[in-house]
Structure 1
Amino acid sequence: MELQIQLKLEANCDFHLARDCILRVFVVLPAVNDAPLAQLEVQVSGSKIQNGVRFSAWEKRFPFQTHNEQTKSVDDQLDDARPKVDYKFMRNAQGELISGGVTGIVELIENGTALKTPYPGPEMDLHIRDIAKEADIYHRIGPHKRLARMLDHPDEGLVLEFMRNGDLKTYLQSKSSIPIDLKVKWAYQVAEAVDLLHKNDVIHCDIKPRNTLLDTCFDTKIIDFSGSSLDGSRPTSGESTRFFLPRHWKDPSTVATDLFALGSTIYEAFYATSPYRDIASDEVERLYNKMSSLVYQTNHGDR
């Protein structure tokens, strides 16, 4: 069965929610009768966006999982969205599904490595280019303790070392207590990783606990550069609301926006929840903008 879905956000909609629905492909839906595939059409219009924007390029099939947990923030719901369909409906699956994102699918294959392959469909060429850019970033930086190792870049995608302890967000959610010295170590290590990227002219554009993996020694490795900016190139990814430095939505990601996302990531490492988790995304945006104005006034006075 195939379900046709139209998401239309009007007037005072939370634009970050719209952007996240588009960029992340997975969208949180009310309970539906186990439809395995869906097609998403997103139209955003209203006072926050001049003349409206229609994201017809993102009309595509995508897997989804329903959520009924009202205690979670929208960003947590989007970030936690896990595909529950068999990816064999969409491509020739090669292993056990680990995750999926903007650009492609990550699977654990038989030899114990992780394979990242592009989504099929009309935008597949764009996804292939994004994965090639990710390979370029790995080649430029070279092997480093704060990066997952790229093992190969065959035609079908990107082969990376597999981290059995998973991502930082999932680990934080699974533990009731984590030693403070481990959290401090993570803060230093994630900051080291971001500094490494910036020194190599890479803006990550989506720093968050989900994009931080843990190795067997519980050291962190930053991942997912397919949507990043390399040498000033246009990124194809963006931060979710609680990691988003207040700015016009058309403004590009920069070192400063990465550092803001880093701060939110370190906050979540210490408190096991993203900033303002229990507040709606549009209110978080308002609070961030207010704080940004206060900082500017403190730094610049009445000039």
Structure 2
Amino acid sequence: METQPSIPEDVTDLPWITNGISGATFAVSESAIIKIPLPLENCKEQLAIERQIYERLGPHPDITKLLYTHKGMIVLERLQYPLRRRLLDIREQKQLPVAQDVVRWARQTAQALQHIHSHGVMQVDIGPHNTLLDWDENAKLSDFAGSSLDGSEPMVVFIDDGFES
């Protein structure tokens, strides 16, 4: 079992990875990231809901793994990159994704959705930006901030970013 890496008092001293609607992620180690709330209205509450969701879901092969919590922040397994980036890279090379990969990613995403729905979670921001690929190119659902838990009103609404196929 990997020991928990040291997290500095000011998490923003860690290497920044990306920002989302409600939080920012920073690299803790080669195998872990930490997600902190943005300093905006409702972001702390959204992160608290996300933590509750990860704790409720438990480990699942098609969902990003919660490693532990740290001072109200969540530490998650570090994955390779979003499926969206992989698809854009393939398109940039003027190619199509391999059919086997597309079917595997769709199956893994469907299995993840079945699991979260069976646990009272409705993720309202589903897409290739919140589906991450692990180091073996397997899809894992991530980012439950703002999701509906037990029928609660979702706190995040996805707005189309203009991505063209």
Q: Does 1:239 align with 2:119?
A: no
Where 1:213 maps in the other structure, the secondary structure is strand
Q: Is the 8 A contact 2:31 2:79 kept in 1?
A: no
For 1:150 and 1:92, locate their aligned partners in 2 and report how far apart those are by CA, in whole Å.
18
Greater length-normalized contact order (CA 8 Å, ≥ 6 residues apart)? 2
Q: Does 1:109 align with 2:25?
A: no
Q: Does 1:173 align with 2:96?
A: no
Match of 1:202 among 111, 118, 121: 121
RMSD over aligned CA atoms reads 2.1
Where 1:181 maps in the other structure, the secondary structure is helix
Give the superposition deviation at 1:99: 1.2
Where 1:93 maps in the other structure, the secondary structure is helix
Question: Deviations along 1:18-73, whole A, 9 cap, x unmatched?
Answer: xxxxxxxxxxxxxxxxxxxxxxxxxxxxxxxxxxxxxxxxxxxxxxxxxxxxxxxx
Where 1:160 maps in the other structure, the secondary structure is strand
> Structure 1 stretch 198-207 or stretch 108-117: which is displaced more?
108-117
Q: Does 1:151 align with 2:151?
A: no
Q: Does 1:230 align with 2:149?
A: yes
For 1:92 and 1:192, locate their aligned partners in 2 and report how far apart those are by CA, in whole Å.
33
Give the superposition deviation at 1:139: 1.2
Question: Deviations along 1:83-115, whole A, 9 cap, x unmatched?
Answer: xxxxxxxx8613222111121101112464111
Segments ≥4 residues shifted beyond 3 Å: none
Match of 2:88, as an amino acid?
Q
Q: Is the 8 A contact 1:95 1:110 kept in 2?
A: no
Q: Is the 8 A contact 2:11 2:26 kept in 1?
A: no
Q: 1:153 to 1:179 in 2, by over 3 A?
A: same
Partner in structure 1 of residue 48 of structure 2? 132
Segments of 5+ residues of structure 1 without an aligned counterpart are 1-90, 243-272, 279-303
Where 1:163 maps in the other structure, the secondary structure is coil
Partner in structure 2 of residue 6 of structure 1? none
For 1:135 and 1:226, locate their aligned partners in 2 and report how far apart those are by CA, in whole Å.
8
TM-score, normalization: structure 1?
0.47
Q: Does 1:160 align with 2:76?
A: yes
For 1:207 and 1:169, locate their aligned partners in 2 and report how far apart those are by CA, in whole Å.
12
For 1:144 and 1:222, locate their aligned partners in 2 and report how far apart those are by CA, in whole Å.
10
What are the equivalent positions in structure 2 for 1:89-104 lying under 5 Å apart?
93-104=12-23
Match of 2:106 among 165, 182, 187: 187
For 1:105 and 1:182, locate their aligned partners in 2 and report how far apart those are by CA, in whole Å.
29
If you compute each CA radius of gyration, which structure gives the higher value, 1 or 2? 1
